[in-house]
Each structure stands twice: as C-alpha cells, then as structure tokens.
A and B are shown apart, each in its own frame.
Chain A
Amino acid sequence: METTATTHLPSDYLPILIQFAAALGFVIFAIVVTHLIGPKRHSKVKDAAWECGVESVGNARTPVSYKYFMTAILFVIFDVEVIFLYPWAVNFRGLGMEGFIQMIVFMTMLMLGFYYVIKKGILKWE
C-alpha cells in the first residue's frame, strides 16, 4: 500500500512512540540509578520527620483556605482556554473571518465570566 497525504499507516506514528519510550526510559533510568548509586546512612535523627531544622508540631492535615482551591480552579480554566487559542492562532489564516468571529465570541464569553469572578470577589485575598 502506498502512503499518501491522507492515509496514514500505523508505522507513521513510530517516531512518536520512540520519543515516548525515550522520555519514559529516561525517567525510569534516572530514578533507578540515583536510587542505586546514592549513599544511604540510617540514624534515628535522619529517619525522623524533619522540616527546616524545626521539630514538627501538630497534624499535617489541617484545612487549607478555600481561596487556594478557587485560585487553582481559575488557573485550570484559563489554562485550558489557552489550549483553544494555540490551534486557532496556528490556523489563523485558514480559518479566516469566520474563525475570527467565533474566537471573538468565545473570548467575550470568557471575559464575561472573568468579570463575574472578579465581582464575586474570588481574587480578594483577605
């Protein structure tokens, strides 16, 4: 079978697979090797839970202010929005005026949401 522009053989994806394997391999390699060749010395002090030279106090599972979560969620939303922007920007010419209008609509909605979020006071830190 002849490879044309529109049909792809599974072998065409081989480079991606190789890169994937290489990335994964490097991570595994790094973890395993440092673990093996690094020096290990155990002592009572060394094995204790230890933080910045201060004795640890209390429970680690204290509630975290919801503001962190709010910020995190907002970050995710705007981060994902950027994912939409990239392919659009790459194909800006091909999509033409219609694509431009669609992106304007999308961004308007997003900005309105942003306005709502600000008015709701999520970014106020006190």
Chain B
Amino acid sequence: MILAWLIILLMVGGILAWIAGRFNANFARWIALLTTLASFLISISLWLNNPTTTVKATNWMMRYEVPWVPQWGVSFSLALDGLSLLMLLLTFFLGLLSILVSWREIKTKVGFFHFNILWVLAGISGVFLTMDLFLFYFFWEVMLIPMYFLIGIWGHANRMYAAYKFFIFTQASGLLMLLSILGLYFIHGSNTGSYTFNYFDLLGTTFPPAIGPWLMAGFLMAFLVKLPVVPFHSWLPDAHSEAPTAGSVILAGLLLKTGAYGLLRFVIPLFPEAAQAFAPWAMLLGVVGILYGAILAFSQTDLKRLIAYTSVSHMGFVILGVFSFNEWAFQGVVMQMITHGISTGALFIMAGFLYERLHTRDIRQMGGFWPAIPRMGVFASIFAMASLGLPGLGNFIAEFLTLVGSWQANNLLTIFATIGLVAATAYSLRILQKVFLGKNKAEHPLTDLSLREMSIALPLVVAILWLGLYPQPVLDRAKPSVDEQLEAYKKPTIKPEIPAQVTLQTLPADTVRLLNTKGGIHALK
C-alpha cells in the first residue's frame, strides 16, 4: 500500500500546489518541495527497512495489487524490487533538486509549474513500480503530458516546436508498444485461457516464431525512442535545449531512464529468443549512438544541446550493456542509469546557473569565467570529469562494468565503444575549456554560486563521489533484480541460438509443457 501512497502523495501534492499557487507562489514551491521530500524519505526508509542480506528468498520486497478493471484482467499492481527502489531514489533525489533549481528561475504560473513537476514525478514513479502492462502504458503516457507543458510553457524561444516533437515522437512509439501489449495479452490469453495484463503471468509466454519479433519490435520502438537510440534521437536535443532547467534535469535524468528500465524489465525477460536474435543489431546501434552522440556533442555551440548529445552517447552504453546478457553488463547498465542521471542532471543545472547569469546558452560567448566564479568552476569541472568517466567518480564504475560485460558478448563492438570514452574526454574537456578557461568574455561581473545553489550542487557531488568510491550497496541492491531479468539467459554457452534450435527439434513432445515454465526454452538444460 505504501507504494500506492507514494504515487497518490505526489498527485495530491501537485493539485494542492496548483491551488496554492493561485494565492501565493511560495506556497506552491514549499508544498512541492515538502511532498517530494516526503516521497524521498519514504523511499529511503524502504531502503533501510529492507536490508540487502535478508531479501534472498525473493527479490521482490513488496507487492500491492487491487483489481482495477477485472473484466479485462487489469489490476492496479505495484511491486518493488532492488532495481525499482534504486530508480525511485534517483527519481525523488533529482525531483527535489529540480524543484530547488526552479525556485528563482520560474516566476510565472508557479502553481501550475509545480503541478506539472509533481505529476511527471508521479508518472515516472508509476512506470518504475507497476507490474501490470496496462498500468505501465497508462503511466508511460501520463508522464508525457506534464512534460509537454513544462517544455511548452516555460521553455526557451523555440519551445513549441520542441514540445510538439517530443510529444509526437514518444506518443507514436508508445502506441506501437500498446499494440504489442495487446498482442501479448491475446496470445497469452488464447494459450492459457486467462486474459491478464499482469507482468508475472505474462512472463514465459510462448509465441509462434513469426510473431515474437514483431511484438518485441513494438516494445523496442517505445524504449529506443525514449532512450534514445540513434535513428530515433532527433527529438532529444530540441527538447533538452528548449526545456527549462528543471525540465532538462527530469528529461535527462529520469525520462531517458524509463526507456532503459523498460528494456531491462520488459523486453529482456518477455522475449528471450527475439531479444537474442536482435542483440547484435542492438549492440551495433548502441555503438553507433556512442560515437555519433560524442561527435555531435563535440561540435555543438549551444551548451544545453551539447549536454543533450552527451546523453545520446551515454545511453549508447546502456543499450550496449542490455543486449550483452550478462551480469557484469547489467550491473553496469544500472549504474549507468543512476550515474548518468546525476552527472548529466548536474551539468544541466550548471548550464541553468550560467543561463541565469548570462541569458545565453551559446558557448562562443562564454570563456574565462573561472576567476570570477571559482566555486561554480570547481563544481562544473567535477561533473565534467564524471561525464568523461574519471576513476573515482560514479560514471567510471558504470562504463567499466558495461564494457567488461559487453567484451564477453562482442569484442569488436566493445573496442569501438571504448573509443567513445576517448571522445567523451574530448567533449567534456571542451566544456571546461570554452566556459571557464581562456580569455574572460564576461561583459559584466558575475556572481558566484549562492547558498541555495551550493546546496543544490553539493548533494550531487556527494552522490557522484559515493557512487564512484563505494558502489557496493547499489550493486548489492541491484543484483537480485539483475539476476531475475537474466534468468532466461543463464547458460554457459556463448552462442545462444544453436542449442535453442536443437532442443526445440529434439523434444517436440515436451516443448509445450516446458516452454510454459519460466525461462522459456533455456530452462530445458
């Protein structure tokens, strides 16, 4: 029940903030801040109450289920495991920061702004928690509309275009996913007679071989667009650069993660065969994304656009890791989701601070700010270092684990991916060089970070350092979930396709029964 309360709390808080905002802008800010803080504290208490050592029996810490539309087999089903918990913590952490960041930046329609922020957070938490595919789609869409408003109302000059593009890209891909969900629903229903959208029941559904890849394609479209992977990434730079700072932070830190989360949670366990068949292509897409994003990032002049392209590059590691199918890579992916959320969010916050002072995002008009604003310089360089993967900071752990994992799956592509790290160094250092070093281009004196801004930046530094120096709690927390997603693939062989075919051919009589067990055909071994 506490899981449902998390979401309800945010939604009610949003409505309250909206109403309060009509009377006093500060009421709205405080309500939003306190609501998010409460959610954050609840999820921390969830972490503390469920130590990693005691959850060996099952990796699901809690589950909450009430029938919603029983006629269709839809239930309001929430469940929490290590992965969800980590994602929730990230969500509320960045949510808190984005509210703090907007404290001075947003001056118009404050109530409605915070309503949107809280509802985006509610939608995202819903996505991370739900274990019913109908509900999943529901939350998936719910988080889009407030995001659309965040970009469309409080964004920069070209905001309407960016908002349109964002909305239509994600909606279109989401609808394809809905088709796949329905296909899955009916196939499972006609196989077993029980029509349900429940994730746990749908696991291990068997498809006719011609259907599986198509169903997976629908899911993939939604997640790859959200992630984004290269051919579908074009909404991202626009949306990121036009959004207000809080919007950028939530987009980069959280919305992209829903795509990665979807891949891990749904695509991999639901479609083991199809995913394996698609894996080389997916990894190729990942590597292309890493290099392409890095090159484009290097050549941007708009600071926020630059950071947006680094996201494309970093998310390439995610898809590379997801389709490597081993524990190293998956742990790396989970780490990457968290550390990228923090480091990129932090960079967007820095860009926001600069924008507040300079009213431009153009890095050609920046330079030599270090002497004037040394504190910001220090923070920015820490985050830039994190982004390039300096050991000791979180991103290093994430990328290292991912690459180790993907090496086992595909050597050649891993080598290319590693080149991406070099490119990351180039673009990260370019930010520092162009903005903080060189000749001072400031036309009027700049003020250094205020106390409020420091209190935003410091937790980010602490988090990224902690993840870099002592990631073990996170890895422990994620391990059971990662194992669960990998269950369908736990086999010693490296090339998965061949034994699968053999088993299918040799045991035709038993396949039906065995295929229905969890783990699909691989459980035969």
Q: Do chains A and B touch in the complex (CB under 8 A)?
A: no
User: Which residues in A have some Cβ–Cβ distance to B below 8 Å?
Assistant: none
